[in-house]
A and B are shown apart, each in its own frame.
Chain A
Amino acid sequence: MKKRVVAVMMAAVTAAGLLAGCGGGQGTDSGSGDAQSTEEGKVINIYSWNDEFRTRLEAVYPEVESTSDDGTVTTLKDGTEIHWVINPNQDGVYQQKLDEALMNQADAAADDKIDIFLSETDYVYKYTDADADVAMPLTDLGIDLDTDLADQYDFTKTTASDQDGVQRGSTWQCCPGVLVYRRDIAKDVFGTDDPTAVGEKVKDWDTLKATAEELKSKGYYTFSSYADTFRVYGNNISEPWVTTGETTVKVDQKIMDWIESSKEWLDAGYLDKTVKGQFNDDWNKAMGSSSKVFAFLLPPWGIDFTLSPNWDGDTGAWAVTNPPQEYNWGGSYIHAATGTDNPEHVKDIILAMTAEKDTLLKISQDYLDFTNTVSGMEEAAADDAYASDFLGGQNAYEYYAPVAENIQIAPLSSYDQGCVELIQNAFSDYFQGNVDFDKAKSNFETAIKERYPDITEVQWPE
């Protein structure tokens, strides 16, 4: 009897499984099949890796009518729907799906075509590449670079341009890097926590090294890990990692400087040996009140999204000052996908989100982003409304703005993301004394050739 019950159950479960499966399949088909488009499409597909852009758009774009509860569809006032296609950055899933969709762009039905996609500075160049031609030149959309984008920071325009200097993307945020330090440690060691005085102590690498010795004698680390200083060197390289058309990775002298100083600093005890890399548990803990780390090199988003949630002491314990060298870190770019069926909407969104000073200032106030408007940020720097409680009432824009103006964007290549990631990885073994210098070099060579099959050679500076 029991056996029969089981057999029947098995059969029932199997049948139910088949039915459930079929149901799912049919749902998909009907979902993508409806709504044949004419002229300007009815659906705007936006590819991104999180809902950051969506929340910004909802907050400030005047055309937004409503967003569905699950956050996948935003309806505009004229009835056009924005479909958000969000894939995690993790394990390269986002780029993988985006690449797949971009390659099928020509064959896709009008409403399935990508209209807008986002990229980060580390791989923006992959998508702005003129030969790939997946991101439309902004002028083709009818955007006048000289008037519409006049108030943007120059380096953001350079970043979003291809090898011929044609701008193919635009951003609402800039990421000028500053030095964020603990006020209590500054008082303990220097007797003052005044940003100007501390700024003097860290104004260049030589001065900073002397300061590091001072901090060490009191039992503090200057920075948490060697990865913390990487962006300062890595985003100030003078030559691109790979020159367009070549298959050779050229390691910049700046990178070698980073390796040399990191090893020196680590061995000298200016860095916390137990913290390896960033965005891990040890690094987070280094931002806590029990840590002995004096400072971090972070852009605005880093302070609000990394430092602030990790800080467990009293509010107002941190302050910002000038970094030893100007640098930038991060930034999300908006691109119009070639082949979009909604060029007018896309143009409107790009302009509204990245070129309207009022909109940008609202983002700055609501989300503490440093936004892409030169005059607006200058105003913010002088406006106490932009002061931060987390920084003890300090107005950080005062320090961001001059850094942003001086940023010279490092020459980019499509290989940046891999080079940046792999060189840090290969040499962390060297810093920790697991391998010698030459072995670390050859490990980097192996890894980079694996990542980019077309790379044939790695050149190291003399």
Chain B
Amino acid sequence: MKKKRKSVSYAKWGYIFILPFFICFFIFSLIPLVDTIRYSFFEYYRSGIKEIGPNFVGMQNYISLLGSDMLKYAGNTLILWVIGFIPQIVVALLLANWFTDIRLKIRGKQFFKVVIYLPNLIMASAFAMLFFAMFSTNGPINSILTSLGWISEPIDFLGSVFGTRSLVGLMNFLMWFGNTTIMLMAAIMGISQDIFEACELDGCTSVKRFFYITLPLIRPILAYTLITSIIGGLQMFDVPQILTNGQGNPDRTSMTLIMFLNSHLESRNYGMAGALSVYLFIVSGILCFFVYRMTNGNNDDGYGSKAAKRKLKEARKGRR
């Protein structure tokens, strides 16, 4: 009852508050996006500096993309993302849990937090350059390993599928686990200490506490992490691009979807790039939908906040 009255009198503020976002979005993203989608139905590219098209070709771009290696690149992207994400989320959860566990007296927390976030600060392209130099066959890593006597002749890291993919995974892990840790920590610290205290009184172990209290309560942020990571993974570009000089060598096994898109953009193939973007758009939409559903239980109200709110209200009531 009360709620309804409120909605009548304050609705206009809702509109006012979200207006800047939408105006900005419409101007700077939607217009370019519509452009992109429109051109996906055209044959439109540059040959040298002559423009070919735009000629309307219907679904031709979409069809020829299906006939290309697009699915293979999608697979590559998935593999590269998983290699980086799994250690990232596991380590981040572990660290966030340790950092926020008042019973573990970890000294120098601040120092560790600052350190693990550092790799995220460096430009991805510069980081990739650094890795490329370090893991080259005559680079520092090989010379260190050789002088330690662990290997007799240099390992050709970037010459093998396994080596290249592992390096990409390692870099993504290093760049993002600190970021994720801080995010999850903020979430865990948002949980009321009362709950942890109550749990302690009930005598649960830290493992139990982690799985039964912490994990469910940080679900919204976890979902956020997962979604942003999936989007980030889908958009993976700088690292493999620079590490493999844009070719996804060896044998195009490290070619990601955005690298594929980039090679179309580089050739100013607006039509193909547009179609590929639309595919990407659809795929990421579907992925996020699933993840969102998964992490928010089975309520079907699109933005699934009610269940969370209800839980929170109960928790708050309990606290009082």
On whether the beta carbons of B137 and A414 are closer than 8 Å, the reply is: no
Chain A residue numbers with a CB within 8 Å of B260 are 450
User: Mask for B257-299, Cβ within 8 A of A = 1, else 0?
Assistant: 0001001101111011000000000000000000000000000
Q: How far is the CB of A398 from chain B (nearest CB, A)?
A: 34
Q: How far is the CB of B270 from chain A (nearest CB, A)?
A: 10
Chain B residue numbers with a CB within 8 Å of A103 are 49, 51
Asked if A414 meets B47 with Cβ closer than 8 Å, knowing A281-B133, A285-B138, A451-B263, the reply is yes
The answer to whether the Cβ of A308 comes within 8 Å of any Cβ in the partner chain is no
Asked if A274 meets B45 with Cβ closer than 8 Å, knowing A92-B266, A429-B250, A450-B263, the reply is no
Secondary structure call for the B interface: loop
How many residues of chain B have a CB within 8 Å of chain A? 37
Instruction: For chain A, residues 432 to 461, give those with C-beta under 8 angstroms from any C-beta of chain B.
Output: 432, 434-435, 439, 443, 446-447, 450-454
A450 to B159, CA, bound (A): 23
The answer to whether the Cβ of A132 comes within 8 Å of any Cβ in the partner chain is yes
Asked if A414 meets B249 with Cβ closer than 8 Å, knowing A92-B266, A281-B136, the reply is no
Asked if A446 meets B69 with Cβ closer than 8 Å, knowing A274-B138, A428-B249, A453-B272, the reply is yes
Instruction: For chain A, residues 414 to 441, give those with C-beta under 8 angstroms from any C-beta of chain B.
Output: 414, 425, 428-429, 432, 434-435, 439
The answer to whether the Cβ of B156 comes within 8 Å of any Cβ in the partner chain is yes
Chain A residue numbers with a CB within 8 Å of B267 are 450-453
- Candidates A126, A425, A435; contact of B247 at CB < 8 Å: A425
- Candidates A275, A285, A451; contact of B266 at CB < 8 Å: A451
On whether the beta carbons of B137 and A127 are closer than 8 Å, the reply is: no
On whether the beta carbons of A434 and B251 are closer than 8 Å, the reply is: yes
Closest-by-CB residue of A relative to B129 is A281
A131 to B48, CA, bound (A): 10
On whether the beta carbons of A282 and B49 are closer than 8 Å, the reply is: no
On whether the beta carbons of B156 and A99 are closer than 8 Å, the reply is: no
- Candidates B137, B249, B264; contact of A274 at CB < 8 Å: B137
User: Mask for A259-287, Cβ within 8 A of B = 1, else 0?
Assistant: 00000000000000011110011100100
On whether the beta carbons of B48 and A276 are closer than 8 Å, the reply is: no
The answer to whether the Cβ of B132 comes within 8 Å of any Cβ in the partner chain is yes
Closest-by-CB residue of B relative to A128 is B48
On whether the beta carbons of B136 and A432 are closer than 8 Å, the reply is: no
A403 to B136, CA, bound (A): 35
Q: How far is the CB of B159 from chain A (nearest CB, A)?
A: 5
A274 to B68, CA, bound (A): 32
The answer to whether the Cβ of B320 comes within 8 Å of any Cβ in the partner chain is no
A134 to B50, CA, bound (A): 10
Asked if A127 meets B49 with Cβ closer than 8 Å, knowing A428-B249, A450-B267, A451-B266, the reply is yes
**A-B contacts besides A129-B48, A414-B48, A450-B260, 10 pairs, CB < 8 Å:** A127-B48, A127-B49, A129-B50, A275-B138, A276-B137, A281-B133, A282-B137, A435-B251, A452-B267, A453-B269
